């Protein structure tokens, strides 16, 4: 009796072999390097990385522009999480909205900070919320 051929990642439908006893066609696995290549592409995809960052963020780590939170301390947390998730520096602005909530998030959209560079968006938020609490 031939073994069951399950659809798994890394199977190639054209790569077949014959079962030695029943002479039935059975799918064989692609090389481990091809499977590793697919997994590596998923690990370096910015959308997948940002999704993982969203899962790691908790509400207390977000900047809410109130007196009890400092933008610098929240940025430190943001950098650590992005570094551990292996997010590229060029993708930081795409993930920046994750760390904002409340009034800071509203200003991000109202002043179109998503259309600026990352450093300009940070400096603009600093100028908006800098005060006695910083």
pLDDT tens-digit series, residues 41-70? 656 778 888 888 888 888 888 888 776 678
In this structure, how many other beta carbons lie within 10 angstroms of the beta carbon of residue 11? Answer: 14
Task: Name the band, by pLDDT with cuts 50, 70 and 90, for residue 85.
Answer: confident
What predicted TM-score, i.e. pTM, was given to this entire model?
A: 0.64
Q: With cut-offs at 50, 70 and 90, classify the pLDDT of residue 39.
A: low
Cα distance from N-terminal residue to C-terminal residue, the chain: 73
Q: In this predicted structure, which of 8-12, 89-93, 117-121 has the lowest mean pLDDT?
A: 8-12
Question: Would you state the structure tokens that stand for residue 118, as one six-digit string?
Answer: 């990352």
Question: Rounded to an integer, what distance in angstroms lies between the CA atom of residue 91 and that of residue 101?
Answer: 20
**69 phi-psi bin (left φ>0, alpha ψ -120 to 50, beta other):** beta
């Amino acid at each position: 009796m031939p073994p069951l051929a399950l659809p798994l990642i890394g199977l190639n439908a054209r790569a077949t072999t014959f079962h030695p006893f029943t002479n039935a066609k059975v799918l064989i696995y692609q090389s481990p390097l091809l499977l590793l290549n697919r997994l590596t592409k998923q690990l370096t995809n910015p959308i997948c990385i940002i999704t993982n960052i969203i899962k790691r963020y908790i509400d207390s780590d977000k900047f809410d522009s109130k007196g009890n939170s400092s933008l610098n301390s929240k940025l430190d947390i943001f950098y650590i999480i992005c570094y551990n998730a292996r997010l590229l520096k060029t993708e930081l602005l795409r993930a920046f909205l994750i760390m904002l909530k409340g009034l800071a998030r509203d200003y991000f959209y109202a002043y179109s900070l998503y259309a600026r560079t990352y450093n300009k968006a940070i400096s603009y938020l600093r100028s908006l919320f800098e005060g006695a609490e910083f």
